[in-house]
Amino acid sequence: MIEKRVVKKILNILLGNGADFSEVFVQKKAFNNLRLEDSKVENSTSGSELGCGLRVWAGESTFYAYIDSIKEDKLINAARVLSSAVNGSSKVKVLNLTETRSSYDISIKKAPSAVQPDDKIEILRLIDRESRNFSSHIVQVTSVLSDVEEEIFVANSYGFFSSEKSVRTLLGLSIVAKRGNDVGTAYKSIGRTCGYELFEKENLAELAVKTSGVAVTMLDAVDAPAGELPVVIGPAFGGVIFHEACGHGLEADAVLKGASVFKDKIGKKIASEVVTAIDDSTIEYRWGSYKFDGEGFPSCRTVLIKDGILQSYINDLKTSRKMGESQTGNGRRQSYRYIPYPRMSNTYIDRGIEEPESIIGSVNKGIYAKEFAGGQVDPVTGNFVFGISEGYLIEGGKISFPIKDATLIGNGPDILKKIEAVGNNLDFAPGFCGKNGQSVPNEVGQPTIKVSKITVGGTKK
């Protein structure tokens, strides 16, 4: 994409007025999005991006600029303008660039650019047919197919560079069922850091039937109870509560700002001893995985909590240096237009030893929260409110009626201490995480877990 000769020149221009650090981030991206609704293609978009982000540090200050080009003359001009904002005394100079290595290596078998548009549309039509054939109560089926092919190059004045080519493919399915005045909804998605071989591994008809079945089941939902109850949280997307209510508090920029309840808690017990939590960007083909982060640092597996004890924060380059901690490969950015920040990748509560059935069987009266809708979280305190999109009563140790209009109200750090059991059925769910105006691919995960009690907001009188 760009010559190393040019990169070294740009890095040194950025350092020219006494900056402590300089960085070049180049990105080339091609993307496609298809949306099928009411059995018709409602939206089809595609596009490409090519550009470069330039960053310098001077003392505690960060200066950033980007241009939608990688032409040498334009990069030099942008570097000179950015460098003029610095008035420092550092005498750093880049002489050589050494390539950074990563152990993460996957192969792409069917790149999105090699798949015809009609074949992509047929994937959505198959989903649509199978969903509608499931029940006459299905009144709306919306499916979205997205793919991205991306190439990045990162170099910095510490003398390192890295490059990566990546592919992501995502399918989302939303279904609405209706019977009289009753409405049931369901959403499922599959996403991987791979090409269209994804759909050779995933059974699309099974996905359609499963999602449709949930929507139809929710037509029989009863009013949710209210009060403090034992809650069993399902695997995969259930991990969104840990991600939102606890994970963001473990990102080191929040800790440095004093905006995290986990500040000064390294080595201390913050969760039940059955809880081990991990952020791991090295899991092959996972939606949140990568070879290098947005600063060119190799992907890592970081144990955040081990047997209830806080082990590590989530760091980027800058926070790791400020805190004197190891870099964890979590400096992430949406594109070359943005500064990197500490961000989660694949973040999950690790598997335990309990059978999911025995966890549910241990609850006489409670709630099984399987899937979640929107929610609100205060990142400073960890207080949260999450809507349950698919939930059920637990009565006498068995799952009974589906429930509607239910919310979970609690505090993330408090919930960590109330986890009594962790299942052996670890699973993941893809999504996107927003922070500082940026959105990045992220995967949440967990096995089935039991929380001794959470406040349930319900409508049952």
Among residues 230, 217, 161, 162, the alpha carbon closest in space to that of 185 is found at: 217
- Would you place residue 461 in the very low, low, confident or very high pLDDT band (cuts 50, 70, 90)? low
Identify the pLDDT of residue 458.
84
Q: Enumerate the β-bridge partners of residue 387.
A: 407
Among residues 304, 267, 272, 269, the alpha carbon closest in space to that of 417 is found at: 272
Q: Is the pLDDT of residue 222 over 80?
A: yes
Separation of CA 197 from chain center: 22
Identify the pLDDT of residue 376.
87
- Would you place residue 337 in the very low, low, confident or very high pLDDT band (cuts 50, 70, 90)? very high
- Would you place residue 379 in the very low, low, confident or very high pLDDT band (cuts 50, 70, 90)? confident
- First-to-last CA distance in the chain? 64
The tokens of 394 are what? Answer: 């637990």
**pLDDT over 70, % of the chain:** 100
Q: Is the pLDDT of residue 1 over 90?
A: no
- Cα 326 to Cα 313: distance, rounded to the nearest angstrom: 9
The tokens of 2 are what? Answer: 């760009």
Identify the pLDDT of residue 80.
98
Q: Is the pLDDT of residue 61 over 90?
A: yes
- Would you place residue 96 in the very low, low, confident or very high pLDDT band (cuts 50, 70, 90)? very high
The domain made up of 4-30+47-99 has a fold known as: Double Stranded RNA Binding Domain (3.30.160)
Mean pLDDT of 189-210: 96
The tokens of 209 are what? Answer: 């039937």
Q: Is the pLDDT of residue 26 over 80?
A: yes
Distances in Å between the Cα of 407 and the Cα atoms of 2, 223, 251, 373, 391 are: 51, 12, 26, 9, 10
Which residue ranges does the chain devote to CATH 3.30.160?
4-30+47-99
Identify the pLDDT of residue 380.
85
Identify the pLDDT of residue 261.
93
How much of the chain is helix, strand and coil, in % rounded to 5? 25, 45, 35
With b for 16 or more beta-carbon neighbours within 10 A and e for fewer, the 362-377 pattern comes to bbeebbbbbbbeebeb
Identify the pLDDT of residue 25.
98
Residue with tokens 């500490």: 342
- Cα 177 to Cα 142: distance, rounded to the nearest angstrom: 12
Q: Is the pLDDT of residue 460 over 80?
A: no
pLDDT in tens, 128-158: 999 999 999 999 999 999 999 999 999 999 9
- Cα 365 to Cα 70: distance, rounded to the nearest angstrom: 62
- Cα 412 to Cα 47: distance, rounded to the nearest angstrom: 39
Mean pLDDT of 349-367: 98
Q: Is the pLDDT of residue 113 over 90?
A: yes
